[in-house]
Amino acid sequence: MANITSLISSSAVQGAYSRSKELAADSTQKPEDSKFSEMLQTASSDAASKVRETDAVLEAGLEGKVETQQIVEAVMALETSVTVAISVRDKIVAAYQEVLRMPI
Protein backbone atom coordinates (compact mmCIF):
# COMPACT_ATOMS: atom_id res chain seq x y z
CA MET A 1 0.00 0.00 0.00
CA ALA A 2 1.41 3.41 -0.97
CA ASN A 3 2.24 5.94 1.69
CA ILE A 4 -0.15 8.91 1.38
CA THR A 5 2.60 11.43 2.11
CA SER A 6 4.50 10.28 -0.96
CA LEU A 7 1.46 11.01 -3.16
CA ILE A 8 1.01 14.62 -2.01
CA SER A 9 3.47 17.15 -3.37
CA SER A 10 4.99 19.81 -1.17
CA SER A 11 3.66 22.61 -3.38
CA ALA A 12 0.11 21.30 -2.97
CA VAL A 13 0.54 21.19 0.79
CA GLN A 14 1.99 24.70 0.85
CA GLY A 15 -0.87 25.97 -1.32
CA ALA A 16 -3.47 24.41 0.94
CA TYR A 17 -1.74 25.83 4.02
CA SER A 18 -1.60 29.35 2.59
CA ARG A 19 -5.26 29.11 1.51
CA SER A 20 -6.26 28.01 5.02
CA LYS A 21 -4.42 31.01 6.47
CA GLU A 22 -6.33 33.28 4.07
CA LEU A 23 -9.63 31.71 5.11
CA ALA A 24 -8.76 32.13 8.78
CA ALA A 25 -7.98 35.79 8.16
CA ASP A 26 -11.24 36.20 6.25
CA SER A 27 -13.27 34.65 9.08
CA THR A 28 -12.24 37.46 11.44
CA GLN A 29 -14.03 39.95 9.20
CA LYS A 30 -17.42 41.18 10.43
CA PRO A 31 -20.40 39.86 8.42
CA GLU A 32 -21.80 43.34 7.78
CA ASP A 33 -18.51 44.43 6.18
CA SER A 34 -18.99 42.23 3.12
CA LYS A 35 -21.87 41.97 0.72
CA PHE A 36 -23.11 38.86 -1.00
CA SER A 37 -22.56 40.40 -4.43
CA GLU A 38 -18.96 41.25 -3.52
CA MET A 39 -18.42 37.68 -2.35
CA LEU A 40 -19.76 36.31 -5.64
CA GLN A 41 -17.65 38.74 -7.63
CA THR A 42 -14.52 37.73 -5.71
CA ALA A 43 -15.28 34.04 -6.14
CA SER A 44 -15.87 34.39 -9.87
CA SER A 45 -12.69 36.41 -10.37
CA ASP A 46 -10.74 33.80 -8.38
CA ALA A 47 -12.17 31.06 -10.60
CA ALA A 48 -11.27 33.02 -13.74
CA SER A 49 -7.73 33.58 -12.50
CA LYS A 50 -7.44 29.86 -11.72
CA VAL A 51 -8.39 29.11 -15.34
CA ARG A 52 -5.72 31.52 -16.60
CA GLU A 53 -3.10 30.03 -14.27
CA THR A 54 -3.94 26.52 -15.42
CA ASP A 55 -3.75 27.57 -19.06
CA ALA A 56 -0.30 29.04 -18.43
CA VAL A 57 0.87 25.83 -16.74
CA LEU A 58 -0.53 23.72 -19.59
CA GLU A 59 1.24 25.86 -22.20
CA ALA A 60 4.48 25.60 -20.23
CA GLY A 61 3.97 21.84 -20.06
CA LEU A 62 3.59 21.61 -23.82
CA GLU A 63 6.84 23.53 -24.18
CA GLY A 64 8.56 21.17 -21.73
CA LYS A 65 9.20 23.85 -19.11
CA VAL A 66 7.02 22.27 -16.41
CA GLU A 67 6.99 18.76 -14.98
CA THR A 68 4.00 16.48 -15.37
CA GLN A 69 3.29 16.60 -11.63
CA GLN A 70 2.76 20.36 -11.75
CA ILE A 71 0.40 19.99 -14.71
CA VAL A 72 -1.66 17.38 -12.86
CA GLU A 73 -1.82 19.57 -9.75
CA ALA A 74 -2.96 22.58 -11.78
CA VAL A 75 -5.66 20.58 -13.55
CA MET A 76 -6.90 19.09 -10.27
CA ALA A 77 -7.07 22.55 -8.68
CA LEU A 78 -9.00 23.81 -11.70
CA GLU A 79 -11.37 20.85 -11.49
CA THR A 80 -12.09 21.69 -7.85
CA SER A 81 -12.72 25.36 -8.69
CA VAL A 82 -15.06 24.46 -11.54
CA THR A 83 -16.96 21.98 -9.38
CA VAL A 84 -17.49 24.61 -6.68
CA ALA A 85 -18.54 27.22 -9.26
CA ILE A 86 -21.08 24.81 -10.76
CA SER A 87 -22.45 23.97 -7.31
CA VAL A 88 -22.86 27.64 -6.45
CA ARG A 89 -24.55 28.30 -9.79
CA ASP A 90 -26.97 25.43 -9.21
CA LYS A 91 -27.84 26.73 -5.74
CA ILE A 92 -28.45 30.24 -7.08
CA VAL A 93 -30.69 28.92 -9.86
CA ALA A 94 -32.61 26.76 -7.37
CA ALA A 95 -33.11 29.76 -5.07
CA TYR A 96 -34.29 31.89 -8.00
CA GLN A 97 -36.77 29.22 -9.06
CA GLU A 98 -38.04 28.99 -5.48
CA VAL A 99 -38.61 32.76 -5.43
CA LEU A 100 -40.53 32.51 -8.71
CA ARG A 101 -42.82 29.88 -7.17
CA MET A 102 -43.77 32.16 -4.27
CA PRO A 103 -47.27 33.60 -4.43
CA ILE A 104 -47.49 37.33 -4.84
CA 99 to chain centre: 28
Q: How many of the other CB atoms lie within 10 Å of CB of 10?
A: 7
Q: From CA 47, how far away is CA 64, in angstroms rounded?
A: 26
pTM reported for the whole predicted model: 0.58
What integer pLDDT is reported at residue 72 of this predicted model? Answer: 93
Residues 71 and 57 sit within 8 Å (Cβ to Cβ): yes
For the chain, what's the residue count? 104
Residues 73 and 61 sit within 8 Å (Cβ to Cβ): no
pLDDT in tens, 22-73: 766 655 555 556 788 888 888 888 888 999 999 999 999 999 999 999 999 9
What integer pLDDT is reported at residue 14 of this predicted model? Answer: 66
